[in-house]
Amino acid sequence: MFIFEAKKEDIIGGLGQCVAAMLAAQLFNQAKGNEVKRIYGSVTSGTTWKFLFIEDSTVYIDSVEYYIKEVDKILGILLQAFQPIVSQN
C-alpha cells in the first residue's frame, strides 16, 4: 500500500506519482520472484482520499473521492488492502 500526500490539495495531480511508485513496486517484486496479485495506493490531502490499485497491468482508480467525515469508509478500504496480510497471521 502506497499513500501519497497531494500537493496543494491536488488529488488528481498526485495520482501519477502514486501509479509510478506502484508500478515500480510491481516490477521490483516480479524481479525478486514475488508475484503480488494486487498493489494498492492512495492519494490524500488529509481531508480528501482517492484510492486505486493495480492488478496485472491494469490500473483501477476509484471514481469516488472520500472525505474525512467518512472515516468508516476510508478505514474499511484500508483494511481491505491489508486483509491478505492480516489473514496470513
Q: pTM for the full model? A: 0.84
Which pLDDT score, from 0 to 100, does residue 89 have? Answer: 53
Let me know: does 71 contact 85? Beta carbons within 8 Å: no
Domain count, the chain: 1
Phi, psi dihedral angles at 81 (to 5 degrees) = -65, -35
Instruction: Kindly indicate the confidence band of residue 1, based on its pLDDT and cuts at 50, 70 and 90.
Output: confident
**Which residues partner with 48 through β-bridges?**
67
Task: Provide the domain limits for residue 83.
Answer: 2-87
> For 62, phi and psi rounded to 5 degrees?
-60, 130
**What pLDDT, in 10s, does the model give residues 36-51?**
889 999 999 999 999 9
